Amino acid sequence: MRIIDVIVIGTTVMLMLGIIVILLVMLQQKMVISHKLVIKDKDLQLQRERLIAVLQGQEQERKRIAEDLHDEVGAQLSVLKLNLGGLQPLLKTGNGEAERLKETKEFTDVIIQQLRFISQSLHPQALDNLGLAHALDSFCNLMNKNKQVKIAFKIAGNGQPVDREKALNTYRVVQELINNILKHAQASEVVITYQTTPSLLTITVADNGNGALLTSLADSRKKAGSLGLKNIESRLNIIGGSINFTPGTPQGTIATISVENYQSAAQNS
Amino acid sequence: MTGIELLVLIPFLLNYKSLDKASKCIFFYIISSLVFAGGSTLVLHLMGNNMWFFSLMHFVQFVILSTLYWYCIHNETMRTIIKYMPVLILGIFIFDFFWVEGFRAFNSISSGVKHLVLLVYGLYFFLQMLRDRNLIERAIYIDSLPVFWYNSGIFIFSCTEFLFCISYNHLQTLQSTGLTKIGMTMAILSINYIVGMISMILLYIGFSKIKKLKHANY
């Protein structure tokens, strides 16, 4: 083989080698990145599972405390109220004992009401028995008894049943929103609208407050330790829902919660 | 080949202000290639032999590309080597130019060493990009980076040129003694021209990636 042939072949081989090196570098880096992305996805999945486990544990504990309060302490207070009622005919008149007993009975009533409110807030029994729409309605009635803000509940559509986990998380989100409105918005009226289509559950929470909810949410996003908004976002993330805040007209804030495919697999089939 | 260099130069020239340091080095490299191509023809017509101009331009291009790698490579030891390498290469060029092959023949030793060093720089830069944790963590593919395409262009060109450069002096001797056919020499030159064009296209692809990166607001 002549030297010139060697050069031609060698040059071509070198060119091929150069191209192969470049292609290998590109391929290798793409493989490394896709591997890292797979690991990242697994991490996210693990974090999601942990979050679900934490929230489920939290709900179970809330349910247990709510049941204990309702069944044990609530029952005992009812017995106390009955006993107080039984004492009434035995009292002597003239020294104001009857009035004091009446006051004590009324105070016991207040305690029973508050206990029901706490128990209901901790775990809404209506959610398990009657579904999300009724639980929200019941929550509104309960809030109307205890607070200055008037909360109205409107239902549009036929109120199709919601998957239990999604219903519980959506309920908690609405609860958190109402808490935020009470804390920051200085609203006198809140309207909760519940709407369902076969594939989409939409709940709007509109208040007539100062619109401070939007700024408070923007601040919360910047703060590392803001639990309320994180709680809302985490819960919606778990159930595949989303929330959107818009300023209301002429004032206030409108929060729109959307949950797609909200019905359980069994209900769908 | 001057045509494609001129074509590739136009977008670099039009966007000169927005070019980063590496892209500016490539811009000067393309200009040097143009001067190399045009100048060698001119020198040939004026003086009859343009081999000294080849040596000069090879060294100028080496300095420009060393600057590019000095900007792109992060390892401090490697950067120090790149910084002082032109001095060593200059010594080799001078030695080859005056004492070994002379200024009337193609300086195979010095130009071969130049391409060998550039091959090492190119390989090192590829390895650096492969190991770059920042790129992997941010899931940035290296083929979206302008510097990857610049390096690819230079690397492919150096791969092809290396063997040609180290043998061209010998080929000139064979030609002058009539021991080789002109056809095969033309074949080698043609391969080099084609690869030169490919490398210019790769440089242009690198330039087009600057626009995409800006559009993506990185």
Give the pLDDT confidence score for residue B217 in this predicted structure.
44
Q: A15 touching B, CB under 8 A?
A: yes
Neighbour-count burial of A228, counting CB atoms closer than 10 A to its CB (0-12 exposed, 13-18 middle, 19+ buried)? middle
User: Which tens digits make up the pLDDT trace of B72-104?
Assistant: 999 999 999 999 999 999 999 999 889 888 888
Confidence (pTM):
0.64
pLDDT of residue A93: 65
DSSP H or E stretch at residue B104:
none
Length reported for chain B: 218
Whole-angstrom Cα distance, residue A242 to residue A173? Answer: 11
A34-80 pLDDT per residue, tens? 888 899 899 999 988 898 888 888 888 988 988 888 888 888 988 88
Question: Rounded to an integer, what distance in angstroms lies between the CA atom of residue B57 and that of residue B53?
Answer: 6
CA distance B176 to A91: 138
A3-68 vs B108-131: helix axis angle to the nearest 10? 10
Taking the CA atoms of residue B30, residue B35, residue B41 and residue B44 in that order, the dihedral angle to the nearest 10 degrees is -130
CA–CA gap between residue B125 and residue B148 (Å, rounded):
9
Interface check for A218 against chain B (CB to CB < 8 A): the answer is no
Tens digit of each residue's pLDDT (9 = 90 or more) over B99-125: 888 888 888 899 999 999 999 999 999
A36 and B185 in contact by Cβ < 8 A?
Answer: no
Q: Which residues lie across from A202 on neighbouring strands?
A: A195, A258
pLDDT of residue A224: 57
Give chain B's mean pLDDT.
88
DSSP β-bridge partners for residue A154: A193
- Residue A129 tokens read as 């028995």
CB atoms within 10 A of CB A152: 12
Chain-chain contact of B141 with A30 (C-beta, under 8 angstroms): yes
Close Cβ partners of A113 (under 8 Å, ≥ 6 residues apart): A145
What are A163-182's pLDDT values in tens digits? 888 888 899 899 888 888 88
Give the least confident one: A138-147, A200-209, B25-34, B89-98.
A138-147
Per-residue three-class SS string for A134-147: HHHHHHHHHHHHHC
For residue A176, the distance in angstroms to the closest alpha carbon of chain B comes to 35
Q: Is B130 on the interface with A (CB under 8 A)?
A: yes
The answer for A 24-63 residues in CB contact with B (under 8 A) is 25-26, 28-30, 32-33, 36-37
Question: B125, B103, B124: which is closest to B52 by C-alpha?
Answer: B103
Mean pLDDT over A237-258 rounds to: 87
How confident is the model at residue B218, as a pLDDT? 41
Residue A117: closest CA among A138, A148, A103: A138
Report percent pLDDT > 90 for chain B: 52
Q: For residues B83 and B120, what is the distance between their CA atoms, to the nearest angstrom?
A: 14
Nearest to B156 by CA among B186, B135, B126: B126
Contact A4 B129 (CB under 8 A): no
pLDDT confidence of residue A266: 60
* Residue ranges of chain B whose pLDDT lies below 70: 1-2, 178-182, 212-218
Neighbouring CB atoms inside 10 A of A101's CB total 16
Query: Do A190 and A207 contact (CB within 8 A), yes or no?
Result: yes
pLDDT score of B204:
93
Chain B residues in contact with A15 (beta carbon < 8 A) = 156, 159-160, 191, 195
Tokens representing B46?
A: 């004026």
Q: What is the pLDDT of residue A267?
A: 55
Question: Could A15 and B164 be called an inter-chain contact, meaning their C-beta atoms sit closer than 8 Å?
Answer: no
Verify whether the Cβ–Cβ distance B141 to A18 is below 8 Å. Answer: no
Residue A195: beta bridge partners? Answer: A156, A202
In chain A, which residue's Cα lies nearest the Cα of B144?
A26
ipTM above 0.90, yes or no: no
